[in-house]
Amino acid sequence: MTVATPRIGLSTSSTYPGTTATGFEAAARLGYEGVEVMVGIDDISTDSAACRSLSEFHEIPVVSVHAPTLLLTQRVWGSDPWGKLHRSAEMAAELGAGTVVVHPPFRWQREYAKGFVEGIAALEREYGLVYAVENMYPWRTGKREFHAYLPDWNPVDEDYAHVTLDLSHSATAKDDPVAMARELGDRLAHVHIADGLGSPKDEHLVPGRGSQPCAEFLRTIVDAGYARDIVVEINTRKAVDQGAREADLREALAFTRRFAVPSGAPD
């Protein structure tokens, strides 16, 4: 019997400060099975036709679109957050991607946050796509903690049909991603694999270099039947050169391939 296994994709943010084109090229050359487009890292990332051309040229599919809902992408595609989510769905449909990744609203976006849970459900019905709301974290400085997201940084207890789990974010939040995955069950729709040491900074380390139970997490979700996409989203900005950056991307892919298999399978 053939068991479905997750595709392993690469977020274009993983090659930053390289361009979106750099991300597609690296993903295809290194053996990734798909690409997640992080909208907003450059002009190409906002252009569906350009991304489609890159996908076709490198013969690698776009598996997901990350909506421009980060703090640094607040002005990408205008300032209306709902408009951004509509544009993200349109891009996903044009690129053949089935998933839109979205962050929960910031606390100061009160009107947006007021109907966010219901609005996400309505968008899923309208477009027939998965909107996977991502786990975030409290902002911390010293002993002070600020809850920057509404209705919460942790989407597990909210009424979302689909959720993205990011293991760098769970490290920063000091949450247990294995417990979160078990509680989500079939609502776990997308994964950002990375690592962290629990720093207030969102580190996005290569999996296996931090304190997160990355291997256990991957085995747990695959044992439970998870066969959706796992996207490597790591920070390579501090790599000393292109060779070091590529080594990190290879290591992240090898780690994920090794552990995103049933627990009884040989390493």
pTM of the model: 0.96
Domains and CATH numbers, the chain: 8-259 (3.20.20.150)
> Who wins on pLDDT, 124 or 73?
124
Q: Which helix (H) or strand (E) holds 121?
A: helix 116-127
Helices 20-30 and 242-259 sit at what angle, rounded to 10 degrees? 50
Question: E-assigned strands of 39-181?
Answer: 62-66, 99-102, 130-134, 139-141, 144-146, 163-166
From residue 190, how far is each of 63, 66, 81 by CA, in Å?
A: 10, 11, 21
Question: Residues 85, 102: contact at Cβ < 8 Å?
Answer: yes
Token pair recorded at residue 131:
């909107």
Mean pLDDT of 227-236: 98
pLDDT band at 266 (very low <50, low <70, confident <90, very high): low
The C-alpha atoms of residue 65 and residue 42 are separated, in whole angstroms, by 14
Question: In this prediction, what percent of the chain has a pLDDT beyond 90?
Answer: 90
- As to burial, measured by CB atoms within 10 angstroms (0-12 exposed, 13-18 middle, 19+ buried), residue 1 is exposed
pLDDT score at 1 = 44
Asked if pLDDT for residue 35 goes beyond 60, the answer is: yes
The C-alpha atoms of residue 92 and residue 34 are separated, in whole angstroms, by 13
pLDDT score at 145 = 87
Cα torsion through 155, 75, 34, 247, rounded to 10: -100
Lowest-pLDDT choice from 45-49, 74-78, 252-256: 74-78
Question: Residues 251, 238: contact at Cβ < 8 Å?
Answer: no
pLDDT score at 2 = 52
The C-alpha atoms of residue 133 and residue 127 are separated, in whole angstroms, by 16
Question: Residues 183, 156: contact at Cβ < 8 Å?
Answer: yes
Handedness of CA 89, 63, 113, 124 (dihedral sign): positive
Q: What is the DSSP letter of 238?
A: T
Question: Residues 209, 168: contact at Cβ < 8 Å?
Answer: no
Q: Which helix (H) or strand (E) holds 141?
A: strand 139-141
Q: Strands 139-141 and 144-146, how do they pair?
A: antiparallel
